[in-house]
Structure 1
Amino acid sequence: MILPIVAYGHPVLRKVGEDITPDYPELKTLIANMWETMYASNGVGIAAPQVNKAIRLFVVDSEQIINNLEDDEKNDYPGDNGIKEVFINAHIVETGGDDWAYNEGCLSIPKVREDVNRPETVTLRYVNENFEPRQQTFTGVTARVILHEYDHIDGKLFIDHLKPLKRRMLKSKLDDISKGKIRVDYKMLFPK
């Protein structure tokens, strides 16, 4: 089932997500719905707060980015083949490499894109959908998508990484989103 995506201004986007246990109600259904919602809205990742759940869960499919790169662009991301993965109770172990800029957007903040600096690599400790423990290092675009989704489970948004002047320049767009004054081709849940 395609779920509505929470719009900028909704308080759930600013909550730090809670760790969950394997008996979290309807977890397999929630994960399936998150995948369906992400693909229906042309996303490459979606976090539980974006579907109105303040828990530490997100899904990422960076394979679709890597697979759509031109051959010469793939050289920009050595060692990044993309992933399709469920991340539960994720916690950053470390980040590394140089910060680099990339133009990011967010399903909860539609029609706003800005360059955001993030580290080249991230090492995460998490469990997968079967609650099997994992610790893995990700790089390139995959690391970026993971860090973007990780921000969501920590109550942060990509716009928080922008300089204050840039954020002030976006204020009217952000206000319009929070008031529901935006048209997108997916269902959104606006703040009350």
Structure 2
Amino acid sequence: MKLPILIHPDPRLKKACAPVPDLSDDLRALAKDMLETMYDAPGIGLAAPQVGVLSRLIVLDCQKDENSAPRPLVMFNPEIVALSEDVNVYEEGCLSIPDQYAEVTRPEAVTVAWLDEAGNPQEEEFDGLWATCVQHEIDHLNGKLFIDYLKPLKRQMITRKMVKLKREMARP
């Protein structure tokens, strides 16, 4: 089931999320719905707070090569356990901040530990777009948006556009 995506500014997008204490069928169903929502948007990552759930859950699939099979990842309680010293600059966007993009500098590679849908511990090193995406989504779990990396004037300009967009969307 596709879920509605919260649009910035929304106070739920600025809250730190609680760890998932144990995996329930409801949480697995939420992860499935989040993947459907992300693919439909279309996007490459989605965090639970973006659909109004303040739990440490993210989904992502950065497989962009049309000849490759999709690689959906579901991460419960993801945590960055190592960062590279080298950095990358990517133009980031966000499903909660539609049609707004800006360059963000982040570590080029990260190692992430998480629980998969079966509750098994996983750990993997990501680089390139995958590293940027997983960091962006984990930021959401900590109440941080990609625009928080921008200079105040640019951040305020984007926020004003989002307020205007929400007003327009609310009109009958």
**Which TM-score applies when normalising by structure 2?**
0.89
Partner letter of residue 161 of structure 2? K
Q: For the Cα contact (< 8 Å) 2:23–2:119, is it kept in 1?
A: no
Letter in 2 for 1:163: K
CA distance in 2, matches of 1:141, 1:123: 14
Inter-partner Cα distance in structure 2 for 1:168 and 1:8? 12
CA contact (8 A) 1:18 1:54 kept: yes
Tell me if structure 2 keeps the 8 A contact 1:83–1:142.
no
1:9–1:168 CA distance, 2 compared to 1 (3 A): closer
Change (3 A) 1:82 1:38: closer
- Post-superposition offset of 1:31: 1.1
SS of the residue corresponding to residue 168 of structure 2 reads: coil
Deviates more, 1:137-146 or 1:165-174: 165-174
In structure 2, the residue matched to 1:181 is 168
Deviation string 1:28-57 (CA, Å, 9 cap, x unpaired) is 211111111111110111110011100000
Displacement, 1:174?
A: 2.9
1:110 has 2:98 as partner: yes
The 3-state SS of whatever aligns with 2:76 is strand
Partner SS for 1:172: helix
Corresponding residue of 1:29: 29
Q: Which residue of 146, 151, 155 corresponds with 2:134?
A: 146
- The alpha-carbon deviation at position 91 of structure 1 amounts to 1.4
How much has 1:122 moved relative to structure 2? 0.9
In structure 2, C-alpha distance between the alignment counterparts of 1:149 and 1:82, rounded to whole Å: 18
Distance 1:180 1:101 in 2: 32
Q: Which amino acid aligns with 1:113?
A: Y
Alignment-derived partner of residue 187 in structure 1: none
* Alignment match, 2:51: 51
Please report how far the alpha carbon of residue 140 of structure 1 lies from its aligned counterpart in structure 2 after TM superposition: 0.7
Match of 1:172 in 2: 160
Which whole-Å CA distance do the structure 2 matches of 1:173 and 1:113 have between them? 12
**Cα pair 2:7 2:162 within 8 Å, conserved:** no
Deviations 1:126-164, CA, capped at 9 Å, x for gaps: 111111001221111100110111111111101001122
Residue type of the alignment partner of 1:126: W
Higher RCO, 1 vs 2 (CA within 8 Å, ≥6 residues apart): 1
Determine the structure 1 residue equivalent to 2:5. Answer: 5
Q: What is aligned with 1:155? A: 143
What percent of counterpart residues are identical? 40
User: What letter corresponds to residue 43 of structure 1 in structure 2?
Assistant: G
How far apart, CA to CA, are the structure 1 residues paired with 2:100 and 2:118?
A: 35
1:160–1:11 CA distance, 2 compared to 1 (3 A): same
Normalised by the length of structure 1, the TM-score is: 0.81
CA distance in 2, matches of 1:82, 1:25: 23
| AA aligned opposite 1:51 | V
In structure 1, C-alpha distance between the alignment counterparts of 2:127 and 2:70, rounded to whole Å: 9
CA-atom RMSD in angstroms:
2.1
